[in-house]
A and B are shown apart, each in its own frame.
Chain A
Amino acid sequence: MSAALAPAPGHDGGRAHLLSVADLGREGIEEVLQLTDSFSEVSDRAIPKVPALRGKTVASLFFEDSTRTRLSFEAAAKRLSADTMTFAASSSSLNKGESLRDTVQTIDAMGVDAMVVRHRSSGVPWQVARWTRASVINAGDGWHEHPTQALLDCYTLRQAARDGRPGWAGRVGETGLEGLRIAIVGDIEHSRVARSDVAAFSMLGAEVTLVGPPTLLPSSLSGWPVSVSHDLDDVLPKVDVVYLLRLQAERIHESLLPSLREYTARYGLTRSRAARLSEGSLVMHPGPMNRGVEIAAEVADLPCSVVTRQVRNGVAVRMAVLFLLLGSGQ
């Protein structure tokens, strides 16, 4: 077990979980990134599989639809030779009125080593951790946290820094994020990716600016290590990374925005805005993208966009997390 992955407070047995990126701390994040390097190499092999978690069982509990995160965790578990089980809410007995706790304890009784939990309600992975003996990995809870997304984002940025970007050399420090200027743009309030990314990026020394209309920012940013802007055009030339968040059409119905058109006009990474990015800038997006809303179709396919790299790194990062929680010869 990794020293950096701390057991959840109050949980018996001292089993390690990954619930929040903040629990990892800088040291823990760096440990995951370092291990990701070696698992990244595994994924490049002809037979991308190692026996590291043979005999371990990883259950995916996805109470909310997800394609990439669920597949990414399953691929990670399989490449480590773990057995996998998948629980999807639509096919479950939740429809028959079974409570969350009963569902968790039923799966616990089958004997699993890790539960990968995705839920539309913030906080559920913490509740699950109180009801199971397994290690719990938060695969996204409500608007709250998505720690493995933050880890893969950090890994992607570190990779870019090591590959060398124009203008980054000499300014960006050893973590690959030290001194990096990152703008996170769009619907911060409803984004678990934003909350985890802000914590992880700033722990690794990046300067984070949140950009969006006030209606899409959290009502209080007290204690957040960020600066805030409502003017993307002002921010764009001053940053190394533009991290775009998905904008959901339902925000219009909630009167948070007048129209998607107006959003795109002010906060979308259009072709003309992309042209004003400084040399060496990167464009990121957690997916799935709304091409034509927060990002123009052509921009998503530019060389400065690392969206597919993020997805690719996701598997290796999740292998590292699973190995740190379940491996090491336990």
Chain B
Amino acid sequence: MTRVQLVVRGGTVVDATGTRRADVAVGEGVVLGVDPGIDVPRGATVLDAGGCFVAPGLVDLHAHLREPGAEEAERVETGARAAALGGYTALVAMPNTDPPMDCAAVVRQVRELAVGAAAEVLVAGAITVGRRGEQLAPLAEMAELGVRLFTDDGAGVQDARLMRRALEYASALGVTLAQHCEDACLSADGHMHEGEWSSRLGVPGVPAAAEEVMLARDLGLARQTGGRLHFLHLSTAGSVDLVRSAKAHGLPVTAEVTPHHLTLTDAAVGTWDPVFKVNPPLRSDEDLEAVRAGLADGTIDAIATDHAPHPQEAKEAPFDQAPPGMVGLETALAVALTCLTEGEELEVAGGRPHRPEGRQGGGGAALPFERLLGLLSWKPAAIAGVSNRHGGPVAPGAKANLCVIDPTAEWVVDPARLASRSANTPFAGCRLKGRVRHTVLGGEAVVVDAEAQR
């Protein structure tokens, strides 16, 4: 009989099967028991979950860990630590590194860097060699190493014919292609959402159509090829409509949205702080409402961070010269809980918060906590192909990848205290409700009382 090494005590277990008051006993990396009153054996660690939810660990489909190539911004180790503090037990590392993750050698290198990290790092491979959009990368070679997602993220695959062939080729490998939808001709030279604010601020815009044109094209290609497609960081009302209609017609596509596109709008650019520069750009109030509606009705399958660290000096450039991107691993859950479940609006430092006219008390229909967890845990786990070890029900025999969430803890985001190597959070100074208390990875407590243990 396996020895109980750790007991998560006094919490309420929430997973895809429902909610119940239970302690969770863990040993040798797996869940041994889920029961309202588990005796703690001598020598076992106790994690206090009083007043907390005990859930499967979160899974992030979209993180830029910057290693190899830009270690001053982030490293695999620091990114994984930030993830664990945010409640994640697994995260997908995007391939836009230097060199890019477009072959087995780089995939192996990143995996080695992730040994002993505070979260499981899943590597996404590039679709094309060098992410240049010209020639297929060795997808099979990477798939044999277990890579399940492929993307040229940072750019979309511009060539429709190449994308078609990629979908066909990938279908034999049982892998999913993830598209960063952005028509480079339409978005060229743009630095923020094209609309009322870009017109007022005199900043070249990125039209919503830049995203929607490629999305519409790819839906056609998915229909043509039968290939599996996931859409990264959708940001416009038109995109939500396209995916909704594609799903209604039975296309096997999935989509994600970021916490910042759910909570911030292009009005924040009026602060002239490049921390609000991101790609796709923060959109309009109407777009924000539409992506929230897409979450509510199931059109959108996952909330993904698009954690994109940049060093301070890079973000102190003029707005049109600063690189796009925001860190998000440590704030995603709390931002989602605060804005989507509690229905509150954030006061962004120095900025104009999203506050649509005529909305009472903000938030619209609140998203139930269980559904929110699904969007952050079991649904992205399925898209990433890791449901066998992440996001599954908390039950005996399951891998012990868990997070313990205190839904009432309030905290203020302090960029200087983030575990990420970079501090470019748009939520600096925001008061958030809900915090990760503990994270358990493979049976070991990697976060205890909101402090990283590795």
Q: Footprint of B on A, CB under 8 Å?
A: 9-10, 99-101, 119, 121-124, 126-127, 141-145, 189, 192, 195, 218-224
Which residues of B have CB within 8 Å of A141? 202
B202 & A145 in contact (Cβ 8 Å cutoff): yes
A247 to B175, CA, bound (A): 52
> Which of the listed residues A121, A141, A221 has the most CB atoms from chain B within 10 Å of its own CB?
A121
A220 & B201 in contact (Cβ 8 Å cutoff): no
Which residues of A have CB within 8 Å of B271? 126
Tally of A-B residue pairs with Cβ under 8 A? 70
A124 to B320, CA, bound (A): 10
A218 & B199 in contact (Cβ 8 Å cutoff): yes
Pairs across A and B, CB under 8 Å, 29 listed: A9-B350, A99-B313, A100-B317, A100-B318, A101-B313, A101-B316, A119-B318, A121-B320, A121-B321, A122-B202, A122-B203, A122-B319, A123-B318, A123-B319, A142-B203, A143-B202, A143-B203, A144-B202, A145-B202, A192-B202, A218-B198, A218-B199, A219-B207, A220-B194, A220-B195, A221-B199, A222-B199, A223-B196, A224-B200
Q: Main secondary structure on chain B at its contact with chain A? A: loop
**Interface 1/0s, chain B 312-335, versus A by CB < 8 A?**
010011111100000000000000
B313 & A219 in contact (Cβ 8 Å cutoff): no
Which residues of B have CB within 8 Å of A121? 318-321
**Interface 1/0s, chain B 171-211, versus A by CB < 8 A?**
00000000000000000000000111011111111010000
Which residues of B have CB within 8 Å of A122? 201-203, 319-320
A30 to B204, CA, bound (A): 32
A142 & B317 in contact (Cβ 8 Å cutoff): no
Which 4 A-B residue pairs are closest in the complex by CB-CB distance? A143-B202, A121-B318, A144-B202, A218-B199
A243 to B273, CA, bound (A): 33
A124 to B271, CA, bound (A): 11
**Interface 1/0s, chain B 60-102, versus A by CB < 8 A?**
0000000000000000000000000000000000000000000
B272 & A126 in contact (Cβ 8 Å cutoff): yes
Size band of the interface chain B makes with A: 20 to 34
Which residues of B have CB within 8 Å of A221? 199
**Interface 1/0s, chain B 296-325, versus A by CB < 8 A?**
000000000000000001001111110000
A219 to chain B, nearest CB (A): 5
A99 to B202, CA, bound (A): 23
B198 & A219 in contact (Cβ 8 Å cutoff): yes
Which residues of A have CB within 8 Å of B199? 189, 218-222, 224
A55 to chain B, nearest CB (A): 32
B260 to chain A, nearest CB (A): 19
Which residues of A have CB within 8 Å of B321? 121
B195 & A127 in contact (Cβ 8 Å cutoff): no
Which residues of A have CB within 8 Å of B196? 220, 222-223
Contacts A99-B316, A218-B199, A219-B207 supplied; 4 other A-B pairs, CB < 8 Å: A100-B317, A123-B272, A127-B319, A220-B199
A10 & B350 in contact (Cβ 8 Å cutoff): yes
Q: Which residue of A lies closest to B204 (CB)?
A: A143
Which residues of A have CB within 8 Å of B272? 123, 126-127
A142 & B198 in contact (Cβ 8 Å cutoff): no
Q: Which residue of A lies closest to B319 (CB)?
A: A123
Q: Which residue of B lies closest to A124 (CB)?
A: B318
B205 & A219 in contact (Cβ 8 Å cutoff): yes
**Interface 1/0s, chain B 194-232, versus A by CB < 8 A?**
111011111111010000000000000000000000000
Which residues of A have CB within 8 Å of B273? 127
> Which of the listed residues B196, B199, B316 has the most CB atoms from chain A within 10 Å of its own CB?
B199
A33 to B45, CA, bound (A): 75
B350 & A195 in contact (Cβ 8 Å cutoff): no
Q: Which residue of B lies closest to A221 (CB)?
A: B199
A144 & B203 in contact (Cβ 8 Å cutoff): yes
B275 to chain A, nearest CB (A): 12
Which residues of B have CB within 8 Å of A10? 350
B195 & A219 in contact (Cβ 8 Å cutoff): yes
B202 & A223 in contact (Cβ 8 Å cutoff): no
B193 to chain A, nearest CB (A): 10
Which residues of B have CB within 8 Å of A220? 194-196, 198-199
Which residues of B have CB within 8 Å of A195? 200, 202
A192 to B200, CA, bound (A): 10
A133 to chain B, nearest CB (A): 17
A221 to B198, CA, bound (A): 10
Q: Which residue of A lies closest to B321 (CB)?
A: A121
B90 to chain A, nearest CB (A): 37
B317 & A99 in contact (Cβ 8 Å cutoff): yes
A141 to B320, CA, bound (A): 12
Q: Which residue of A lies closest to B194 (CB)?
A: A219
Q: Which residue of B lies closest to A254 (CB)?
A: B189
Which residues of A have CB within 8 Å of B318? 100, 119, 121, 123-124, 127
A220 to B192, CA, bound (A): 14
Which residues of A have CB within 8 Å of B201? 122-123, 144
Select A223's contact among B200, B203, B317, B350, beta carbons within 8 Å: B200
Which residues of A have CB within 8 Å of B198? 218-220
A72 to B350, CA, bound (A): 33
Q: Which residue of A lies closest to B318 (CB)?
A: A121
Q: Which residue of A lies closest to B189 (CB)?
A: A254
Which residues of B have CB within 8 Å of A124? 318-319
Q: Which residue of A lies closest to B317 (CB)?
A: A100
A123 to B273, CA, bound (A): 9
**Interface 1/0s, chain B 254-296, versus A by CB < 8 A?**
0000000000000000011100000000000000000000000
A220 to B195, CA, bound (A): 5
A119 to chain B, nearest CB (A): 7
Which residues of A have CB within 8 Å of B320? 121-122, 142
Which residues of B have CB within 8 Å of A222? 196, 199
Q: Which residue of A lies closest to B312 (CB)?
A: A101
Q: Which residue of A lies closest to B314 (CB)?
A: A99
Which residues of A have CB within 8 Å of B200? 195, 218, 223-224
A100 & B203 in contact (Cβ 8 Å cutoff): no
Which residues of A have CB within 8 Å of B195? 219-220
Which residues of A have CB within 8 Å of B317? 99-100
Which residues of B have CB within 8 Å of A144? 201-203
B194 to chain A, nearest CB (A): 5
Q: Which residue of A lies closest to B195 (CB)?
A: A220
A123 & B203 in contact (Cβ 8 Å cutoff): yes
A224 to B199, CA, bound (A): 10
A224 to B271, CA, bound (A): 19
Which residues of B have CB within 8 Å of A189? 199
B315 to chain A, nearest CB (A): 10
Which residues of B have CB within 8 Å of A224? 199-200
